[in-house]
Structure 1
């Protein structure tokens, strides 16, 4: 089922109009177009309109776990490889149409034949899955959740915020286990909201302005800092959250599902009270009231991801009481992870030779490190700045989890991740990568994570763990932390597909929640944030959102790091606990 944006807008306008006036009833029957029925239909319609690669990845991996069958796993992996091949062939054939030469036409003919063959193979695999594993087919095409189903999956302390951005306006729903509210932000259509998010991100990230070093929040170091536009952050809060916030009273955790430009802006950086004084005043940030102070925050790729994570990606004893009965009798691989689990497997602080000046965990996009073919150039990787903060972060995690496995420096290799430590990774509760993160390039270069480069690049180890290679891992992790730059989006730019790229890859690998960043992050501040989050997890086991909330407060308490560029970059994607 798909529904047009115009239909969704009409549903909401009708519902709001009916809610504001007297509603006529015919006889003793209930009019089907009540505010309640229209609101419920619009809530589901908005979910269909928000399509996310990360949500698709969660659906696929939840289906594998729900079936718990090795034969299905092999079919699912084959299906994913065929889909990737199909997409790559499509891109290459399209590129060849711009080249009207005999060799290009011949190459196009050969690739078109391969494309048709790939489609045929994909059809055969889909037919086999449909016949042998009908539950997988159902789970990989999840439907929108109703209001009642959503409410059943929320914990008593949780509320859910759904924000759908339309060309003419933005629509918002607030839901708790027993209440629902909705509103329309008429002055925030897609263009207006994009402009607002761009203004806020301009003081948070160097994206699009790398030629001006004064805009680099990770390297403030005495340089002029652009003041954070607190009035704009407050305006977004009053338009998008405040209208439905009345039902959130008494709820300490807010789960968000957003679309459009909001996928590139962590809501933690919204302001909940009218700003006092000038933004440039020394005490301005210290006295500001932030949304993260009011709620522990987590975001989901879609509302249906709540069901995937709490019902299908959980062993029987961990399933939410609001889950329906399992589609099959199998309990998947998560059932095998009972008793003591390996608490942590972490990789990072690779051996690099670049000068570790007040460094950020980022670099130019992945095109800049490409070598021959699709392999990374190991010398270009090796020349990236060293990350002493990442080293300190991993050593601190090793002290918090003495029974964990931490690979630092020469031990943090792609070979370790993809071969020698694969069994450990599949058993770990927490998985951490603390290193440089690279955004996708303009060519076919994928986003990825930098590890210690080998002497010579090979297909098995070129020192660069790409998104597709990460998707090939097999995890059972409750929490994966990508302690690097720009790990939230496929291209790191506003307007791109939110929560794709590396996030999608690690969801597909089996993570239940991921910590990702939205811009170039400070090495030192990130060290404090990540170690603080895990220290909080040690104090409040299982509550990832609360642990991150506490760590943000601690980082912000340091006068050097009061600007949200330091503490607000990371977002928890997945269930909060």
Structure 2
């Protein structure tokens, strides 16, 4: 058995996750600010037992040092109140916030930027208690303060605007909420939790035409999903630009301007938080003028990118598509489904060539995470020995419940299309949609494995492809190369993580066993200063000897030459970067994958290849998404097999969004990945069957070929276990599933 890559396509909702609460005052300096940051980080992580004594201790210490009338004391009160509020202890949070506001009123007046966070947080508390009349003037005051102090385009102002719009919507005042939401959409700072309910209500109340409401909602959804890959895309920029002098210069200029703007913004935030008597009005005016000039110059650069370097612009800053633009990319037998997940409710969007619909989903982020985790618990092959009376096996009733919740609202629009394209987010990135069940089953868990064969699997009805984002559809159908490849396959597997070990691939004597998930250690544990402790990292990375057998079997079936299969020490970055990859129709990686942030200093998803004795810029053992984007591919498939499972139970962690986007840019039409630990025999059989079917009928389409391979396995009655989904359904098609 081997560990399969968990499908963690980072489509996280950075904007949706923006809290209605505000951070403490920017007047804090030094250790006070550092401790406040730690307290708020613990609180956001739900570690209230750790955060609470720190916050109380900070407040006690500052009161002893400064007395009652001090900004830092007010900020400490705000910190403690936020923890209480997050725990549902509003009765204890309210007097703290009121006391903080009173302090700030005495110290600097409530028109100071210092007061906005506390006003905002007290308003949020009133809103939770349904004291809307009390909350409204507080939100309005926070908006006025931030607009005056920070300007119309600042993200802190957007927080207050979203909160005010959310309050109006909670009161049923869609007409008041709509213009605020339209403003935040224009600025690209709308929050899903606010904007989508307002837009849907505005459409239903005929405050906004249906097509305008839909396009505005799609704009919000696409911007939110794009933001999750921002770190990886930014890392792409310099390397993508390296081959073109003019592009390199423009990219460097844009990044320099962005850095300057960030520094100015921090300086301005600090300045406006000072006492009025100590503020430098002329200096603040100069900062604002410079920020405006930077914004204008960067807007001009984006236009230049779009005109002179459209491929780069499409990758680095994809613009949201309208419903009509998405529909134009779909064939008559395709349906596309996009999701938006917020705290309390979610939304599903369905598009076909001729029709569009969008509906609310009753499940919010936490509920979806819990249900997806329960769904996945039934896909552990280690437990799949006998279905008789066993707990923990795959729950057909839950699979049907999720189908009804997620696709049921748009079922009439999508059910008759042969192909279904899904753009999941958050917890849904870990959900294998092809295993949803479209009809209520006779029982949640059949008496025998064979009983799973008769379930109404979605895969029986439709071929399913997964898109990292709506923009990926355009990337794969407009920008991917279409030339004919000359060789069938090249593969890289069973990499050597400990350079001191000798041998390669099938020549090793290592015991063949399932790869282990790194469930007890983060990759950051293996870093010391600026370098990695390679001995510890090598010890933590399980070797993958069985992947050599898989690669050799697939290569033999497809007629690939032995010289095109690179195992052990040859499965290196150096080999990948020097290989003529554009010659191959299939590129196969059998190794671990790192999600963004796993390794200190690696802010983008990566594939782990053989770790060299002497790391260099060319080869440090990690093939990052930046480096993938520089590859020249012409691949129908990129197969990612046997990847790290550290983020498998943390839906939304960034694993594939940056990699997929980079592979598309480099020239791949599709990725084939697995959702869970896969039986090696099953993996080899499924991949070979898929490639065989496509080879026999290239017009079949990749997603349909995979679908037929899975169904053939499911319907093979030679073994009862063949009907169990953990064996026949591990793979997912990411990207272009149709024949093009």
Question: 1:267-282 counterparts in 2 under 5 A?
Answer: 267-279=433-445, 281-282=447-448
Question: SS in structure 2 opposite 1:384?
Answer: coil
Please say if 1:303 is aligned against 2:470.
yes
SS at structure 2 position matched to 1:156: coil
Alignment correspondent of 1:356: 511
Q: Does 1:217 align with 2:372?
A: no
Q: Paired residue for 1:402?
A: 560
Give the aligned partner of residue 720 of structure 2. 559
Q: Which residue of 2 aligns with 1:342?
A: 487
Which of 481, 491, 498 matches 2:639?
Answer: 481
Q: What residue in structure 2 maps to residue 291 of structure 1? A: 458
Q: Give the Cα–Cα distance (whole angstroms) in 1 for the partners of residues 219 and 370 of structure 2.
A: 27
2-side partners of 1:498 and 1:453: how far apart? Answer: 20
Distance 2:647 2:459 in 1: 25
Q: Equivalent residue for 2:731?
A: 570
Cα separation, 2, equivalents of 1:277 and 1:340? 48
Residue among 330, 344, 347 paired with 1:168:
344
Provide the rounded CA distance (Å) in 1 between the counterparts of 2:724 and 2:515. Answer: 16
Q: Tell me the alpha carbon deviations over residues 208-248 of structure 1, each in whole angstroms, 9 at most, x when there is no partner.
A: xxxxxxxx535756797721122111111011112212122
For 1:63 and 1:175, how far apart are their aligned partners in 2?
A: 36
1:213 is matched with: none
1:173 CA drift (Å) = 1.8
Deviation at 1:290, TM superposition (A): 1.1
Whole-angstrom distance in 2 between the partners of 1:370 and 1:294? 46
Q: Judging changes above 3 Å, is the alpha-carbon distance between structure 1 residues 285 and 387 closer, same or farther for their aligned structure 2 residues?
A: farther
Aligned residue in 2 for 1:209: none
2:374 pairs with 1:199:
yes
Equivalent residues, number: 492
The structure richer in helix per residue is: 2
Structure-2 change in CA distance of 1:496 and 1:398 (3 Å):
same
Structure 2 CA distance, aligned partners of 1:233 and 1:159? 21
- CA deviation digits over 1:114-135, x for unaligned, max 9? xxxxxxx9x9999878657744
Out of 671, 679, 693, the position equivalent to 1:522 is 679
Name the residue aligned to 2:420: 254
SS at 2:585 equivalent: strand
Q: What is residue 328 of structure 1 aligned with on the other side?
A: none
Name the CA distance, whole Å, in 1 between partners of 2:438 and 2:325: 30
Q: 2:356 matched to which residue of 1?
A: 180
The answer to whether the Cα contact below 8 Å between 1:254 and 1:297 also exists between their aligned partners in 2 is: yes
User: For residues 548 and 188 of structure 1, do their structure 2 counterparts lie closer, same or farther at Cα, with a shift above 3 Å needed?
Assistant: same
CA contact under 8 A between 1:160 and 1:256: conserved in structure 2?
yes
Q: 2:208 — aligned with what?
A: 33
Q: CA deviation at 1:159?
A: 0.7
Tell me whether 1:4 sits opposite 2:179 in the alignment. Answer: no
- Greater shift after overlay, 44-53 or 267-276? 44-53
- Per-residue deviation at 1:161? 0.8
Give the stretch that moved more between structures: 387-396 or 427-436: 387-396
Determine the C-alpha separation between the residues in 2 that align with 1:72 and 1:572. Answer: 37
Deviation at 1:546, TM superposition (A): 0.9
Deviation at 1:190, TM superposition (A): 1.9
Which ranges in structure 2 are unaligned for 5 or more consecutive residues? Answer: 1-185, 264-293, 496-503
What secondary structure sits across from 1:51 in the alignment?
helix
TM normalised by structure 2 equals 0.57
- Residue of structure 1 aligned with 2:575, choices 417, 435, 446: 417
1:549 aligns with 2:687: no
- Supply the distance in 1 between the matched residues of 2:430 and 2:594 (Cα, whole angstroms): 16
Alpha-carbon distance change, 437 to 56 in structure 1, aligned in 2, over 3 angstroms? closer
In the superposition, relative to structure 1, how do residues 519 and 146 fare at CA in structure 2: closer, same or farther (>3 Å)?
same
TM-score, normalising length: structure 1 = 0.71
RMSD: 4.4
Write out per-residue CA displacement over residues 413-459 of structure 1, whole angstroms, 9 at most, x where no aligned residue.
215534442xx113323211123445567552756445455566666
Query: How far, CA to CA, are the matches of 1:11 and 1:413 in structure 2?
Result: 51
Displacement of 1:466 after TM fit? 4.9
* C-alpha distance after superposition, 1:65-95 (max 9, x if no partner): 9x99844665688799x79x98xx99xxxxx
Distance 1:540 1:500 in 2: 30
Q: Deviations over 1:46-68 (max 9, x none)?
A: 32333355599789999999x99
Change (3 A) 1:253 1:563: same
- Summarize deviations over 1:281-302 as a string: whole Å, max 9, x none: 2133222121122111111122
Could you say what secondary structure the match of 2:712 adopts? helix
- Name the stretch that deviates more: 269-278 or 41-50: 41-50
Give the 3-state SS of the residue equivalent to 1:7 in structure 2.
Answer: helix
2:554 matches 1:367: no
1: CA distance, partners of 2:535 / 2:299: 38
Determine if the alignment matches structure 1 residue 45 to structure 2 residue 200.
no
User: 1:228 aligns to what SS in structure 2?
Assistant: coil
CA contact (8 A) 1:155 1:177 kept: yes
Preserved contact between residue 381 and residue 450 of structure 1 (Cα < 8 Å): no
Which structure exhibits the higher relative contact order, with contacts defined as CA atoms closer than 8 Å and separated by 6 or more residues? Answer: 2
Q: For residues 568 and 281 of structure 1, do their structure 2 counterparts lie closer, same or farther at Cα, with a shift above 3 Å needed?
A: same
Question: CA distance change for structure 1 residues 309 and 465 in 2, over 3 Å: closer, same or farther?
Answer: closer
Instruction: Judge which range, 171-180 or 545-554, deviates more.
Output: 545-554
Structure having the higher Rg: 2
The CA distance in 2 between the partners of 1:443 and 1:64, in whole Å, is: 20
Report Cα offsets for 1:472-518 as digits up to 9, x if no partner. Answer: 5333333211012358x977622424633644553454433222233
Residues 440 and 491, structure 1, Cα contact 8 Å, conserved in 2:
no
Aligned equivalent of 1:239:
405
Deviates more, 1:175-184 or 1:220-229: 220-229
Does the residue aligned with 1:515 lie in a helix, a strand or coil? strand
Q: Secondary structure at the match of 1:286?
A: helix
* More deviation, 48-57/510-519: 48-57
Going from structure 1 to structure 2, the CA distance change for 1:397 and 1:58 (only over 3 Å counts) comes to farther
Structure 1, unaligned runs of 5 or more: 19-30, 91-120, 205-215, 319-337
